[in-house]
Structure 1
Amino acid sequence: MEETMAPENVTEGLGFTREDFPPGFLFGAATSAYQIEGTRHGGAGICEWDTFAATPGNVVNAEDGSRGCDHYHRWPEDLDLMRDAGLDAYRFSISWSRVMPEGRGRVNAAGLDFYDRLLDGMVERGLSPWATLYHWELPAALADLGGWRNRDIADWFADYVDVVMRRLGDRIDGAAPINEPWCVAWLSHFIGQHAPGLRDIRATARAMHHVLLGHGRAIQAMRALGQTNLGAVMNLEFAQPADDGPEAAAAARTYDAIYNRWFLGGVLERRYPEEALAGLGPHMPKGWEQDLDLIAAPLDWIGINYYTRKLIAPAPGPWPALREVPGPLPRTDMGWEIYPDGIRHFLKRVNALVPAGTRIYVTENGMAASEPREDLSRIGYLRDHLAALRRAMAEGARLDGYFTWSLLDNYEWSLGYGKRFGLVHVDFDTMERTPKASWHALRAALTPAG
């Protein structure tokens, strides 16, 4: 691991210290299995991202997660990086296709052994383990059976979760079944940008419901094992009308219904928004209303993943009849506008929805930036979003922790290895890790002087 020189741009830093947050507030970093582990080793099965990437045109350079960041072998170094940055917790994911290569039946002992070693390594370094049970690597054998379009996936998923938690649950401090259900359902089945790459409204309606049914069944399975501190992780995106007209306002409400209120409403309010049912309702599985009690089973915490806002305008054509309009704000390398006040908005919004006592975490927040060392833009992004969160807390909103995305530069799905979200630079030829200035700035904020 190559150390950056003490960067001058850390002088201003992130604008906070631990003392600016409540006692017990967690600071962590997040990753996902398929993006960093590398699937060539340890008996991992083929997942739908492997087949999606092997189809020409789906992924930049047809890159897949077979090499990732070689976290499978380099995990001790990566955990050291988190410990040395002064972080409290690691939000990681467990690969379904590594644990159960066919999605059902046979359990891969080497896969569970890997996560055993990883969890023991976290505990040894004083890092609190926070597990995501599904971060998009659906076993290809289950994709062959319809994947998230098939209602049976909720039971398959619950069986997998049971296998994982019986072996690993004793060291997991917090768990969420599914990362970013909007990506699993809408982005993957309506827009077609992620695996399985469909553009089908009927498939979308079923995936939108079954992903939440899978969440509910997984929570049920973990509660049956006595697992505690269970939550849900939603990616939320701030939608604003592109102009002052009523048509733009209606389009923005529809976007918000699809992106945000469908998942928050299902899990927290036992209902789906009418603006989304206007398009999805005719294609929903029969009797879906009877699943809402299971979907809305009580949770201990809610996680917010936030990156950007969108300006929304009406568009001709069938539902949802909307389009995104480029906005005037600075953008990340993903082309996403930088809008820190959106994270303040969602923290207050989620506070208003959850039952009293429910903990709230920012479980992902970060930016893609190509600056390998200077990293000024990432430092500014983190500083401004944490400042917005502190304003919300000063206004009475509860927040119990903050996880930045991501510890490492990694595989960015359909964009391959070109978009760098990491606090730590990864040379994908040598796999050498180099902490960026943002890593140093975070360490300076979290580590007591002297």
Structure 2
Amino acid sequence: MPAFPSTFTWGVATSAYQIEGGATADGRGPSIWDTFTHTPGKITDASTGDVACDHYHRYAEDVDIIASLNVDSYRFSIAWPRVQPDGSGAWNEAGFDFYSRLLDKLAEKNIAAHVTLYHWDLPQALEDKGGWLNRDTAAHFAVYAAEVARRFGNRVATIATHNEPWCTANLGYGTGQFAPGMADPAAAVSASHHLLLSHGLAMQAMRKLNVSAKLGIVLNQWTATPATDSAADIKAAEVEWARSVAWFMDPIFKGSYPELALANNDCSLLSIHENDFNDIRQDIDFLGVNYYFRAFVSTETPPRQPEFKLGKTDMGWEIYPQGLTELLVKLHAEYTLPPVYITENGMAVADQLQDGANGRQVKDQPRIDYLKMHLAALHDAMQAGVDVQGYFYWSLLDNFEWNSGYLRRFGLIYVDYDTQQRTLKDSAHWYRNFIKEQ
């Protein structure tokens, strides 16, 4: 395996709704995911995040586990409805106290905190007023961001405004697979603009506080590979890149939407105000990149499929590690990037808990192989000149995997949801030893 710089950040990642539980504890308000999961037919196994990994009550144990992995950083999200139940108005001190205790425990273990402000759990009260289709939500988000930064901005290493706004917009409003469950492509475009606007407004609000935390955003990204060398497939791949990656990168780095995406999106609900791009185009201290797969683009009917030379994950996603190198090199060529963190990368495996010679164990060699290949691909990108400063495995724990419920396991740590017992998988031992050897 290649060697990484001594200053390289090694971490693990989670998100609030997926692990915390405590859905009604200590004044937390309902989020769109509470509403969505309690709506019959939305979640594959009919589960909810009401308890999840019970991290709200077990955070100290979980931080001890994080420390045992030799990582120096932990990426997690703050649940907006836990600290501001209605998304505007009064703050919930009990909610802030939870995150303060978590930060204290991380500091005790010398683990740097990397905070995400929004990992999809919009307060339901704001959704009742239109959610991300309502421009006012962007302004409310900026107020929330400033309050978190005021309280914690000098206690954390980084603050990301959003995690994967592509998913929030397209899966939440475009296809209905995720909360709030709207299926309207035009609504997805409108929501994406308000998400970007909220990012820019939040960046400005946090900058005014002069906090020590580095400020940025986390985007899920992929390359778009034409299935054949036909003109139709090549054009379709260019459109896919424009609609997915450039749609979010261009406003942040160039102050405009890509023309190819504007021509191929339903922009009938898109309302851009005079200074919007000035607000969105804020300097960021880092870019978080989440990478899981590439887009394999075919215009044939039915669409041509990739060869899956390295297999699939338990999500059905192609394992394509070289796509991480290709993505980072392409981003580096097309944009003037700040330092980059790989804020998510990981693999769902159909893990089985077994009794071994040393107790309970999970033999997940496919996940170890996945890690090796993607870390090698990441190193290749760094050798090509991309300034990548850290890697966060997704995820620390098996958890509530959105509309898949508890049927998909991404964690380095196996969670028995009946007992909440945590068991380090073989991949956790491998990751710990790999980091130790760096």
TM over 0.5: yes
Q: CA deviation at 1:310?
A: 2.4
Alpha carbons 2:75, 2:113 under 8 Å: kept: yes
Letter in 1 for 2:342: V
Q: For residue 123 of structure 1, give the secondary structure of its aligned residue in structure 2.
A: helix
1:440 CA displacement: 0.2
- Residue number among 355, 370, 375 corresponding to 2:350 in the alignment: 370
Stretch moving more, 129-138 or 43-52: 43-52
**Which secondary structure state, in structure 1, belongs to the residue aligned with residue 116 of structure 2?**
strand
User: Does the 8 Å CA contact 2:187/2:269 hold for their aligned counterparts?
Assistant: no
Structure 2 alignment gaps of length 5 or more: 353-361
Match of 1:399 among 384, 388, 395: 388
What is aligned with 1:326? 305
Q: Partner residue of 2:377?
A: 388
* 1:420 CA displacement: 0.3
* Separation in 2, partners of 1:441, 1:279: 44
* More moved, 270-279 vs 73-82: 270-279
CA contact (8 A) 1:268 1:353 kept: no
**1:86-235 mapped onto 2 (5 Å cutoff):** 86-227=70-211, 228-235=213-220
Cα displacement (A) at 1:432: 0.4
What is the TM-score normalised by the length of structure 1? 0.91
Equivalent AA in structure 2 for residue 349 of structure 1:
K
DSSP 3-state at the match of 2:388? coil
Cα pair 1:257 1:275 within 8 Å, conserved: yes
Do the aligned partners of 1:366 and 1:382 also contact (CA within 8 Å) in 2?
yes
Alpha-carbon distance between aligned partners in 1 of 2:10 and 2:233, rounded to the nearest angstrom: 38
Q: Which residue of structure 2 lines up, in the alignment, with residue 12 of structure 1?
A: none
Q: 1:35 aligns with which of 11, 18, 22?
A: 18
Tell me what 1:10 maps to: none
TM-score in terms of structure 2 length:
0.93
Cα distance change on mapping 1:448 and 1:313 into 2, 3 Å: closer
* Aligned-partner Cα distance in 2 for 1:226–1:284: 36
After superposition, the Cα gap between the structure-2 partners of 1:284 and 1:447, relative to the gap in structure 1 and judged at 3 Å, is: same
Letter aligned with residue 294 of structure 1: D
Letter in 2 for 1:328: E
Q: Is 1:246–2:261 an aligned residue pair?
A: no
Distance change (3 Å), C-alpha of 1:259 and 1:351: same
Counterpart of 2:424, as a letter, is: P
Letter in 2 for 1:410: N
> Which amino acid counterpart does residue 278 of structure 1 have in structure 2?
A
Question: For residue 355 of structure 2, what is the aligned residue in structure 1?
Answer: none
Q: Would you say how many aligned residue pairs link Structure 1 and Structure 2?
A: 425
For the 8 Å contact 1:310–1:325, the answer to whether it is kept is no
- Give the aligned partner of residue 58 of structure 1: 42
Give me the whole-angstrom Cα distance separating, in 2, the residues matched to 1:327 and 1:351: 26
Match of 2:249 in 1: 264
Shift of 1:289: 5.7
Superposed displacement of residue 232, structure 1: 1.2
Kept in 1, the 8 Å contact 2:174–2:182? The answer is: yes
CA contact (8 A) 1:182 1:208 kept: yes
Establish whether residue 433 from structure 1 lines up as the match of residue 413 from structure 2: no
Give per-residue Cα distances to partners, 1:222-281, cap 9 Å, x unaligned. Answer: 101112411111100222122221111222222211211101111112121122211436
Contact between 1:254 and 1:276, CA under 8 Å: does it hold in 2?
yes
* Contact 2:239 2:264 (C-alpha < 8 Å) held by counterparts: no
Retained in 1: the 8 A contact 2:186–2:270? no
Q: Tell me, what secondary structure is at the counterpart of 1:334?
A: coil
CA deviation after TM superposition for structure 1 residue 314, in Å: 2.6
CA distance in 2, matches of 1:287, 1:133: 24
Higher relative contact order (CA 8 A, sep 6+): 1
Contact 1:201 1:283 survives alignment (8 Å)? no
Give 3-state SS (helix, strand or coil) of 1:61's partner.
Answer: coil
Change (3 A) 1:366 1:289: farther
Secondary structure in 2 aligned to 1:400? strand
Tell me the amino acid that sits aligned with residue 110 of structure 1.
Answer: A
1:285-364 mapped onto 2 (5 Å cutoff): 285-288=270-273, 290-314=275-299, 325-329=304-308, 330-355=311-336, 358-364=338-344
Q: Percent identity?
A: 46
| C-alpha contact (below 8 Å) 2:175/2:185 kept by paired residues | no
Report SS of the residue matched to 2:102. helix
Q: CA offset at residue 56 of structure 1?
A: 1.7
> Counterpart of 1:28 in structure 2: which amino acid?
G
Provide the C-alpha distance between the structure 1 equivalents of 2:335 and 2:111, rounded to a whole number of angstroms: 27
Equivalent-residue separation in structure 2 for 1:147 and 1:223 (angstroms): 25
Unaligned runs of 5+ in 1: 1-14, 317-322
Structure 1 distance, partners of 2:229, 2:304, is 14
Describe the SS at the equivalent of 2:45. Answer: helix
In structure 2, how many angstroms separate the alpha carbons of the residues matched to 1:96 and 1:324?
A: 40
